[in-house]
Amino acid sequence: MTTRRLLKLLHVCGMAWFMLAAAYVFVFALRQAGVNWWLIFSLSGHGASISFLLMSAYLYAIFRGDGRDPLLAVEHPLTNTQQYMTLYSLIPFLGTLAGVYCVIDLHSAHQTAMTISMGTLGATFVFWVIADPAISFSEMLLPSSRKHRLARHALARAAKEQKQRNREQLLADLTTDEKIRNEQLREALGAEAQKLAALTIKAIEGSTSAGAEAMEIGLHAWQQGGLNCMQRLREMASEICRDRGGRHIDDDYISIWWDGIGQWRHKLVT
């Protein structure tokens, strides 16, 4: 078993012992207040469930943090050492030993257990809640820790800015590619747009023979690029019609000719 696994196991045992001591103090305080056992068992059941959930969340956070960035150890040269972590995990048991030392002259079993439990709770609370955060904060004030933290934050900002620049560049590339595709599509559809415009002008002038050829043009556009290609072709034909004689293309002609080709649907105007 590796040292890391031993530290994990030791910390789990210390946490379990701390929870057991806290439960005993809680039950003892209720009994001293005259609370009946049936109510204590009821409260203990709910308390045990909540304690289990909190302990599980705490241990999950601890074990997930096991894979933290090793560079952070530079900012915490003491609290990241194995010796400190061992002491951190042993604190509940050291508090128990202190409680045992204080009950040498006691003869009551309840007082003995209560003193041992209070020693466990007191030592754990003082070290885990007060001393450990104070030590960690003190480490962050060291010149080397501050220098490393500033450099780490600068690298994080640089990485974030680079990521933003990459996104902007990607967006610009996509926009450029879209423009190139539109130009290529415009060139590819130029001849057919000319034909479609001519057929539309003939239809406006009264010709009834333009529909079949217009349908072939629409079918070819659908095969080339789907609905977007057909819509683009219609717009180009409209521009050509305006340039030739100031006429606006009649949407009904193309909508009726192309109705049913691919996803093109004629919209009735009421």
Query: Which regions in the chain score pLDDT beneath 70?
Result: 1, 28-71, 104-107, 245-252, 267-270
pLDDT, position 37: 54
Cα separation, 256 vs 240, whole angstroms = 20
Same domain, residue pair 107 and 196: no
Q: How far is CA 248 from CA 86, 213, 229, in A?
A: 84, 20, 20
Provide the domain count of the chain: 2
pLDDT, position 165: 93
Boundary residue ending a domain (80, 111, 141): 141
| Look-up of token digits 């056992």 | 37
Q: Are 95 and 124 within 8 A, CB to CB?
A: yes
Q: Mean pLDDT, the chain, as a whole number?
A: 76
Q: Are 229 and 221 within 8 A, CB to CB?
A: yes
Q: Does 149 fall in a domain? A: no
Q: How far is CA 187 from CA 74, 191, 192, 221, in A?
A: 62, 8, 10, 13
Same domain, residue pair 121 and 9: yes
Same domain, residue pair 136 and 167: no
Q: Does 129 fall in a domain? A: yes
pLDDT in tens, 227-263: 888 888 888 887 887 777 645 555 567 777 888 888 7
Note the pTM of the prediction, 2 decimals: 0.51
Q: Does 264 fall in a domain? A: no
Same domain, residue pair 88 and 8: yes
Same domain, residue pair 246 and 122: no
Q: What residues make up the domain containing 208?
A: 160-258
pLDDT, position 269: 42
Same domain, residue pair 165 and 200: yes
pLDDT, position 170: 92
Cα separation, 225 vs 207, whole angstroms = 29
Same domain, residue pair 33 and 122: yes
pLDDT in tens, 55-98: 555 554 454 444 445 667 777 888 888 888 888 888 989 988 88
Half-sphere exposure of 264 (CA within 13 A, CB side): 28
CB contact burial 157-185 (16+ within 10 A = b; e otherwise)? eeeeeeeeeeeeeeeeeeeeeeeeeeeeb
Same domain, residue pair 239 and 195: yes
Task: Mention every residue, 6+ apart, whose C-beta is less than 8 A from residue 246.
Answer: none
CB contact burial 31-47 (16+ within 10 A = b; e otherwise)? eeeeeeeeeeeeebeee
Q: Does 267 fall in a domain? A: no
DSSP secondary structure of 105-120: T---HHHHHHHHHHHH
Long-range CB contact pairs, 212-219, < 8 A, 24+: 214/253, 214/254, 214/257, 214/258, 215/257, 215/258, 215/261, 217/192, 218/254, 218/257, 218/258, 218/261, 218/264, 219/261
Cα separation, 165 vs 176, whole angstroms = 16
Q: Are 186 and 224 within 8 A, CB to CB?
A: no
